[in-house]
A and B are shown apart, each in its own frame.
Chain A
Amino acid sequence: MEQIKNDIVDYLKANSFMDNSSSLTDNDSLTQNGIIDSIGLLELMDYICEKYSIEIPEDMLTPENFDSLQGITNMITRLAK
């Protein structure tokens, strides 16, 4: 769980606006805080699918599953089972 979260944070730092210094809590909104935009989300999704060898059904492309570190981590954990 923590490992997944760290991977996502590393990805966000390497690919989006997130600074090395900025702190993000697990439930902060990625879109409302300007960390990621719609194109960035699609790229993040491709990264997740490839890294964890999962397929994300289209009805799971929701804010609950994609707008926070916790949501993304939970979703990956659920799908990777």
Chain B
Amino acid sequence: MQIDAYITEYARKTPQNIALEEGKSSISYSCLDNDINATASHLMDFGHCRFAILAESGTQYIKVLMAVYRSANIAIPLPIELPKFSLEKILDAAHVNNIIATDAQYSRFGKEFFERFGTVIVISSDTSGVILRKKIETEKNNPELRLVLYTSGTTGTPKGVMLSDRNLAANAESIIKVLRITSRDKGALVISPHHAFGNSIINSHLTAGGSIRVGNMNFMDPVFNLIGSGVSIFYGVPSTYRILLKYPDRFKRAFANVRIAASAGGGMDRAIVTDIKELAPDLEILPMYGQTEATARLAYLPAEDVDEFVGTIGKAIPGVTLDVFDSNYRSAGFNITGELVATGDNIMLGYLDDEIATEKRIINGWLHTGDLAQKLPNGYIRLLGRKDDLIKIGDHRVNPREIERNIEENNEVSRVFVVPVHHELMGTAISLMVIPAEGTEIEKLFAFCRKSLPGYLCPREILFIDHLPLSENGKISNRSIIEEYQHVKASM
């Protein structure tokens, strides 16, 4: 069943129940369903076409997303935290001819940005849509394709994860089971809805007939008011919790009546768990693990095991099978390191317009996650880093080699190395080690990074070095770069 069909069903069964809340306003299932129909009516004559969505987080975004589903088209939400040229890179890769934007984003990005599209629809806050132009073209798409989520578009080639209705519904059902979500639950959506985690909050709460309170993490007073407004399930990436925990008194009051604090997008560390438990002893802490390639979730750590097993990702969510494979694609024994693999109805259809990348990730029906892992005797799984060189920065998965190449190609430098460094709130930020060339200026490098990279990738410091950070066997890896960085810092 399509996610938006659940909304129609609840609009019939419980029309007055609140579906979405934002600021001082709220909308019932019945009104939400009508608004979705109104927007979808503009899209009905397109036949399974790709629609980019450019909208800030909020009720408006959810309505547009559901309208694209309802009209049987394909939604491609754009991560609006990225700078303009990163979005253009995604648009180039996605071959998308149509866009729906909120009027706020239309005026922010300006008319020129929209010239590439055959169809441009601008939605205002009262849900009335203005069709600036319309050009219906025939597209050839995977018949099951419903949603494309971009995993990285900051520097290198962006990868669009193709998801089907079945993927979305299956993962929503699994999450509902794990968190025991009912129609009485109110979920807090303060993280970006354009990525897998935020998207899963929308899907699971609307599938359960419950409500969602939409906000953002920008201003602390409204965030704590939002949490204290009757939210029963709060969702955050680890840095969300680090930020909230900076205000222990407010945290304690706001979370007094929250049932579950769920996390994903990065490993929860023991310090966060300890601090939360001290302030809100009755709050269930539920760390989850997943990937966009698996719609959102793959595993969870049951609340009762958080103390003992916070270093693991726990076990598979219902409907998913996890295993650890050795290099011959055979199931590895306990405590043997291999690659974490997964099957289930939530595994993506593949990467958009990229069969080669798809074949590398989905082999014989198993999603190869790229995460190195070990099975523990109790069935839980421990992660041991990435097979490739990807790292988590501010809870975003990034490829340091792509960032390095991007900076090298656009600046006067000889070589650039990205070093993951500790950051109080983000968990991990980056510093740069640079082998300078003639004309290298630190200020210019900082300026380039600020302008061309998303905020979480702005380097904390830039250090000059005079030789390559090679390992003993002459290779450059994250490890050799970190070791060189520690050496440089120690000698400063």
Binary flags per residue of B226-261, CB closer than 8 Å to A gives 1, else 0 = 000000000000010001001101100000000000
- Asked whether A32 and B250 contact (CB < 8 A) given A38-B217, A41-B219, the answer is no
Interface residue A58 (Cβ < 8 Å from any Cβ of B): yes
Smallest CB separation, B455 vs chain A (Å) = 5
Q: Does the CB pair A63–B394 fall under 8 Å?
A: no
- B190 nearest in chain A by CB position: A38
- Decide if A17 touches B239 in the complex (CB within 8 Å): no
- B104: interface (CB < 8 Å): yes
Q: Are B450 and A38 in contact (CB under 8 A)?
A: no
Task: Judge whether B455 and A61 touch: CB under 8 Å.
Answer: no
Given contacts A17-B83, A58-B220, A60-B221, is CB(A38)–CB(B247) below 8 Å?
A: no
State in angstroms the CA–CA spacing of A58 and B246 once bound together. 11
Contact A38 B222 (CB under 8 A): no
Contact B450 A31 (CB under 8 A): no
> What mask results when residues 28 to 64 of chain A are scored 1 for a CB within 8 Å of chain B, else 0?
0001111011111110000000000000001111110
Question: In the complex, are the beta carbons of B222 and A63 less than 8 A apart?
Answer: yes
- Which of B80, B218, B221 touches A38 (beta carbons < 8 Å)? B218
Q: Give the interface size class of chain A.
A: 20 to 34
Question: In the complex, what residues of A have CB within 8 A of residue B217's CB?
Answer: 38
Q: Is the CB of B104 within 8 A of A42?
A: no
List residues of chain A with CB within 8 A of the CB of B184: none
Contacts of B394 in A (CB 8 A): 39
Bound state CA distance, A32 and B247, in angstroms? 24
Q: Complex formed: what's the CA distance from A81 to B218 in Å?
A: 26
Contacts of B216 in A (CB 8 A): 31, 38
Find the A residue at minimum CB distance from B80.
Answer: A34
Contacts of A40 in B (CB 8 A): 455
- Cβ-neighbour of A39 out of B222, B247, B456 (below 8 A): B456
Q: How far in angstroms is the closest Cβ of chain B from A25?
A: 14
Contact pattern, B 51-88, Cβ under 8 Å of A = 1, otherwise 0 = 00000100000000000000000000000110100000
CB pair A42 B246 closer than 8 Å: yes
- Whether a CB of chain A sits under 8 angstroms from the CB of B475 is no
Q: Which residues of B contact A61 (CB under 8 A)?
A: 219-221
CB distance from B108 to the nearest CB of A (A): 6
- Tell me whether B104 and A32 are in contact (CB under 8 A): yes
A23 to B: closest C-beta gap in Å: 14
Closest residue of chain B to A66, judged by CB? B219
- B425 interface residue per 8 A CB criterion: yes
Judging by beta carbons under 8 Å apart, are B243 and A59 in contact?
no
Alpha-carbon distance A36/B81, docked complex (angstroms)? 10
Taking CB as reference atom, which chain B residue is nearest A45? B220
Per the bound structure, the CA–CA distance linking A62 and B221 in Å amounts to 6
Chain A residues closer than 8 Å to B83, beta-carbon distance: 17, 34
Query: Do A62 and B108 have beta carbons less than 8 Å apart?
Result: no
Q: How far is the CB of B427 from chain A (nearest CB, A)?
A: 11
Q: A39-B455, A42-B425 are in contact. Are A58 and B250 (CB under 8 A)?
A: yes
Do the beta carbons of A17 and B108 come within 8 Å of each other?
Answer: no
Contact check, B250 vs A38: say whether CB atoms are below 8 A apart: no
Chain A residues, CB < 8 A from B135: none
Measured between alpha carbons, how far is A33 from B81 in the docked complex, in Å?
10
Q: What residues on B are CB-neighbors of A15 within 8 Å?
A: 450
Q: Given the complex of chains A and B, what is the CA–CA distance between A39 and B396 in angstroms? A: 14
For A39, list chain B residues within 8 Å (CB): 239, 243, 394, 425-426, 455-456
Q: Is the CB of A31 within 8 A of B218?
A: yes
CB distance from A21 to the nearest CB of B (A): 10
CA–CA, A15 and B455, complex, Å: 10
B451 proximal to A (CB < 8 A): yes
In-complex Cβ contact of A62 among B222, B239, B243, B426 (8 A): B222
**Nearest 7 A/B pairs, CB to CB:** A61-B220, A38-B217, A61-B221, A37-B455, A62-B221, A31-B218, A38-B218
User: Can you identify 25 A-B contacts, CB atoms within 8 angstroms?
Assistant: A15-B450, A16-B455, A17-B450, A17-B451, A19-B451, A31-B216, A31-B218, A33-B108, A34-B80, A37-B218, A37-B455, A39-B243, A39-B456, A41-B219, A42-B243, A42-B425, A58-B224, A58-B247, A58-B249, A58-B250, A60-B221, A61-B220, A62-B219, A63-B218, A63-B219
